């Protein structure tokens, strides 16, 4: 039995596929990020680049320029020109001519921002599955998201061992349909900038949940940190053995799926995928739904779904497109007994399934769709929105799609406990040094940008002291790669959360982020007041985006009237049995939200911190405790889930901080 595996975003990119020169006579091609509906950064020399036959003359004409720009593809088939962009506006068109002609339409000129990080940046406006419930009142945000001058580009998850030259993604106008799955923090940031500046905004989302900062850092800069020497060596070794690693992984996966027939009766040839199979005795489930919310409960393993559909006579002999929405975790899908697609490797539980049914398999009347869903833990099943489940001709011209939401017949095939262990071949992944810079940042360079916003840090919490160096190194690596100088880089300090066993690691990570403000042209949005002790993914992303936008509006767009930061600890002095602290960014005065100040602790020479009284005195705070007559140090908001209440008069919260420099838990001994 031959198993064909489908990967929309390969976990391992072979070096041989990275830089392939186009053959003689090849068409002019553009990277995904240069396309219809894009936003180009205003008032600078914006790169436009691509590939063509080596030596081919390439002409680029923008409708706002009086003359076209010409160049010639180099020996590897690569070419690039720079177009001087005007003030914000549009729409514009750009025509690229070589052996063929490409015309880019609906191009806007405005402000472009990279929006990157891990799961809290990935967190979409709408619910996308377990642990990602969507933002507060997301239906209102989606319904009002009619902003055609805000453009969205989402980079598909991709790991690479060397810097890639292209990625998967498309530009789209912001609308209720396009915003629902986009980064909420990025959207609310961009929407605020759009409201305040009135110019088109381009938001490029490049994020992956659960990933560490070293994965997003270039090899050139990460190589200066000895801590990552072993990880970089493993990536380098994998580059030389990539073909062998990939072959072993694919062989192991194919063997695992082929062996299912021994455990799952439905997987035997001619069984539950067959159009002729009698499924009248099966139970029914209304899809889409997470099957944990049905009588299946917490079942993990394989569940089969079948649905008979009536195909109009006019559809016979035409390719059809089957859309099933996202499936958690994996699937194999058949149409009339013929396999038409599947995602048969972990990591694609949020990926929408879209399979083409060849015309040869389509007949008028009754046809049968069969889906084998495999859930390896947590929620499972076809869990998207009802409108995501459809069947229609690929060349449909005004024809209504057949809706597939509703009752499907289902039957469990095999419990997870009865299946062999999932095959795994050791290889670099999304947590390995440089792999996401290579796969998800490098393909965007040198696209002209105004700056970047970043929300990450949770995955580096146990190595917070290292993050003091790693995070600035990552920022410098991006700036060096883009070659646009010290562009604005605004980031989110991680929110309070009840990490199990945390004894200060989260506070030390927040401290490392606070220290990163020493890097030129950076800013930090504090979230001490909008975390969730029980959920690492707080649903208030509106204020996160707005606070990032305050930094951008004040520091990048010249809004000097705005208070853009909450109080930041500056200095302290011991005054007898008390410690007095002063702050920057008091924003009209310090405020204890809701009453007395909370979450201050104080310690003497024994370094044992106890709860303390804290009182605002002008633009300073005085802290003391009767049990510490000779205080040395104060800490604020140092617990992992602390939600303290120090703000400035502008309503922005203070960062957690400490006045001491005693060795932390994450500092190497």
List pLDDT tens digits, range 588-601.
Answer: 999 999 999 999 99
Residue 118: CB atoms within 10 Å: 26
Task: Specify whether 118 is located in the same domain as 172.
Answer: yes
Q: Report pLDDT for 299.
A: 95
Residue 669 lies in a domain: no
Residue 666 lies in a domain: no
Most distant CA pair in the chain, distance = 91
List pLDDT tens digits, range 471-505.
Answer: 999 999 999 999 999 999 999 999 999 999 999 99
With a CB cutoff of 8 Å and minimum separation 6, the contacts of 606 are: none
Of 418, 441, 469, which one is at a domain's C-terminal end?
A: 418
Task: Specify whether 444 is located in the same domain as 547.
Answer: yes
Number of compact structural domains in the chain: 3
Give the CATH number of the domain where residue 392 resides: 2.60.120.260
Task: Specify whether 258 is located in the same domain as 269.
Answer: no
Q: Report pLDDT for 492.
A: 99
Give the strand pairing for 39-41 and 101-117.
parallel
Q: Report pLDDT for 25.
A: 53
Task: Specify whether 402 is located in the same domain as 531.
Answer: no
Residue 401 lies in a domain: yes
Q: Report pLDDT for 21.
A: 42
Residue 668 lies in a domain: no
Q: Report pLDDT for 398.
A: 67
**Domain span at 481:** 1-263+427-564
Q: Report pLDDT for 139.
A: 95
Q: Report pLDDT for 396.
A: 78
One DSSP character per residue, 270-334 reads TSTTSTT---TTSEEEEES--GGGSTTTT--EEEEEEEEEEEPGGGTTS-EEEEEEEEESEEEEE
Selection from 494, 451, 456 nearest residue 193 by Cα: 451
Task: Specify whether 195 is located in the same domain as 75.
Answer: yes
Bridge partners, 603 (sequence order): 633
Task: Specify whether 513 is located in the same domain as 602.
Answer: no
Report how far residue 44's alpha carbon sits from residue 41's, in angstroms, rounded to the nearest whole number: 7
Average pLDDT over residues 171-194: 97
Q: Report pLDDT for 651.
A: 98
With a CB cutoff of 8 Å and minimum separation 6, the contacts of 27 are: 52, 98, 99, 100
Residue 644 backbone dihedrals phi, psi, to 5 degrees: -75, 175
List pLDDT tens digits, range 117-166.
Answer: 999 999 999 987 767 889 999 999 999 999 999 999 999 999 999 999 99
CA distances from 657 to 329, 454, 511, 528, 610 (A): 41, 21, 6, 11, 15
Q: Is residue 14 predicted with pLDDT exceeding 60?
A: no
Give the CATH number of the domain where residue 48 resides: 3.40.50.1110
Residue 410: CB atoms within 10 Å: 24
Instruction: State whether residue 200 is helix, strand or coil.
Output: coil
Task: Specify whether 112 is located in the same domain as 241.
Answer: yes
Bridge partners, 140 (sequence order): none
Sign of CA dihedral 33, 38, 42, 46: positive
With a CB cutoff of 8 Å and minimum separation 6, the contacts of 467 are: 213, 457, 460, 509, 512, 513
Task: Specify whether 186 is located in the same domain as 237.
Answer: yes
Bridge partners, 373 (sequence order): 303, 331
Selection from 264, 625, 615 nearest residue 412 by Cα: 264
Report how far residue 187's alpha carbon sits from residue 218's, in angstroms, rounded to the nearest whole number: 26
Residue 663 lies in a domain: no
Residue 662 lies in a domain: no
Residue 127 lies in a domain: yes
Torsion of CA 312, 315, 317, 323, to 10 degrees: -110
Residue 67: pLDDT band (50, 70, 90) is very high
Average pLDDT over residues 616-634: 99
List pLDDT tens digits, range 200-256.
Answer: 999 999 999 999 999 999 999 999 999 999 999 999 999 988 878 888 888 999 999
Task: Specify whether 359 is located in the same domain as 371.
Answer: yes
Of 395, 418, 441, which one is at a domain's C-terminal end?
A: 418
List pLDDT tens digits, range 547-603.
Answer: 999 999 999 999 999 999 999 999 999 999 999 999 999 999 999 999 999 999 999
Q: Is residue 286 predicted with pLDDT exceeding 70?
A: yes
Instruction: State whether residue 604 is helix, strand or coil.
Output: coil
Task: Specify whether 649 is located in the same domain as 549.
Answer: no
Residue 395: pLDDT band (50, 70, 90) is confident
Task: Specify whether 293 is located in the same domain as 256.
Answer: no
Of 564, 581, 601, which one is at a domain's C-terminal end?
A: 564
The gap between the terminal CA atoms of the chain, to the nearest Å, is 55
How many residues are there in the chain?
669
Contact 72, 42 (CB under 8 A): no
Give the strand pairing for 389-393 and 402-403.
antiparallel
Task: Specify whether 480 is located in the same domain as 588.
Answer: no
Average pLDDT over residues 394-402: 82
Residue 115 lies in a domain: yes
Selection from 392, 377, 450, 416 nearest residue 194 by Cα: 450
Q: How many helices (H) and strands (E) does the chain have?
A: 11, 36
CA atoms within 13 A on the CB side of 147: 23
Could you say which DSSP state residue 441 is in? I
Contact 174, 202 (CB under 8 A): no
């Amino acid at each position: 039995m031959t198993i064909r595996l489908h990967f929309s975003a390969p976990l391992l990119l072979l070096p041989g596929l990275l830089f392939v020169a186009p053959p003689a006579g090849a068409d002019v091609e553009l990277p995904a990020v240069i396309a219809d509906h894009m936003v180009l950064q205003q008032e600078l020399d914006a790169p436009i680049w691509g590939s063509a036959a080596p030596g081919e003359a390439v002409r680029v004409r923008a409708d706002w320029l009086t003359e076209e720009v010409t160049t010639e593809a180099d020996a590897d088939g690569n070419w690039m020109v720079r177009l001087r962009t005007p003030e914000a506006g549009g729409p514009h068109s750009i025509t690229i001519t070589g052996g063929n002609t490409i015309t880019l339409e609906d191009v806007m000129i405005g402000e472009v921002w990279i929006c990157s990080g891990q799961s809290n940046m990935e967190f979409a406006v709408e619910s996308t599955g377990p642990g990602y419930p969507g933002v507060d009142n997301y239906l209102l945000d989606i319904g009002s998201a009619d902003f055609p001058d805000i453009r969205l580009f989402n980079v598909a998850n991709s790991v690479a061992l060397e810097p890639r030259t292209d990625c998967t993604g498309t530009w789209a106008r912001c609308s209720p349909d396009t915003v629902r799955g986009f980064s909420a923090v990025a959207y609310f940031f961009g929407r605020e900038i759009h409201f305040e500046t009135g110019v088109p905004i381009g938001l490029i989302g490049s994020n992956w949940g659960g990933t560490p900062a070293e994965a997003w850092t270039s090899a050139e800069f990460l190589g200066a940190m000895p801590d990552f020497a072993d990880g970089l060596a493993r990536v380098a070794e994998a580059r030389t053995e990539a073909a062998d690693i990939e072959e072993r992984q694919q062989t192991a996966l194919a063997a695992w799926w082929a062996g299912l027939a021994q455990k799952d009766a439905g997987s035997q040839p001619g069984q539950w995928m067959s159009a002729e199979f009698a499924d009248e005795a099966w139970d029914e489930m209304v899809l889409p739904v997470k099957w944990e919310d049905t009588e299946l409960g917490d079942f993990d393993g394989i569940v089969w779904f079948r649905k008979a559909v009536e195909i109009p006579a006019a559809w016979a002999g035409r390719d059809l497109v089957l859309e099933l929405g996202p499936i958690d975790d994996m699937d194999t899908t058949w149409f009339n007994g013929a396999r038409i697609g599947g995602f048969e490797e972990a990591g694609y539980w949020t990926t929408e399934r879209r399979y083409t049914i060849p015309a040869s398999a389509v007949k008028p009347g009754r046809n049968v769709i069969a889906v084998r869903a495999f859930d390896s833990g947590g929620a499972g099943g076809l869990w998207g929105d009802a409108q995501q489940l459809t069947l229609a001709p690929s060349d449909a011209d005004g024809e209504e799609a057949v809706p597939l939401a509703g009752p499907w017949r289902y039957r469990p095939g095999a419990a997870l406990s009865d299946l062999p262990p999932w095959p795994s071949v050791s290889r670099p992944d999304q947590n390995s040094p440089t792999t996401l810079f290579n796969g998800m940042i490098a393909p965007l360079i040198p696209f002209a940008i105004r700056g970047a916003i970043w929300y990450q840090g949770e995955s580096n919490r146990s190595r917070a002291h290292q993050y003091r160096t790693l995070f600035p190194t990552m920022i410098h690596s991006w700036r060096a790669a883009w070659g646009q100088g010290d562009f604005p880089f605004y980031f989110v300090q991680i929110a309070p959360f009840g990490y199990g066993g945390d004894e200060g690691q989260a506070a030390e990570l927040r401290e490392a982020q606070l220290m990163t403000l020493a890097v030129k042209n950076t800013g930090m949005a504090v979230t001490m007041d909008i975390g969730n002790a029980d959920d690492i993914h707080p649903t208030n992303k509106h204020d996160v985006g707005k606070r990032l936008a305050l930094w951008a509006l004040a520091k990048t767009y010249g809004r000097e009237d705005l208070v853009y930061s909450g109080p930041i600890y500056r200095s302290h002095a011991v005054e007898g049995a008390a410690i007095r602290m002063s702050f920057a960014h008091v924003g009209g005065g310090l405020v204890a939200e809701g009453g007395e100040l909370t979450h201050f602790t104080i310690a003497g020479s024994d370094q044992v911190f106890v709860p303390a009284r804290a009182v605002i005195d002008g633009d300073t705070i005085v802290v003391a405790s009767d049990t510490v007559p000779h205080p040395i140090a104060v800490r604020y908001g140092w617990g992992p889930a602390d939600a303290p209440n120090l703000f400035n008069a502008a309503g922005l919260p203070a960062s957690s901080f400490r006045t001491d420099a005693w060795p932390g838990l994450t500092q190497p001994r």
